[in-house]
Amino acid sequence: MIVPVSLYFTGCRDPGILPRHEVQPDSSWRWNDQAKTYRPPRAYYDDECGVVIEEFDHTCPWTGTGIGKKNMSAFKVFVTSVCG
């Protein structure tokens, strides 16, 4: 039961998608040409999803979504339950 629930939360939860910023909100933010937006440190453009994700890790082939700050815990439970 834990595998389908954690898969659901991994695939359906917002991974930490950031809104686009045309003006630099903070001096630590950097311009990203692919996304055509400023992004904060530790946020990266996911070219498969076409968005900037906070603390982006990878795009999961099993869920078809980016794995980032807001769905990482559910992803870890999913992987542990599948591989454990």
| Residues with a known catalytic role | 60
Q: What is the DSSP string of 14-69?
A: ---BPPP-SS-SSTT-EEETTTTEEE-TTEEEETTTTEEEET--EEETTTTEEE-T
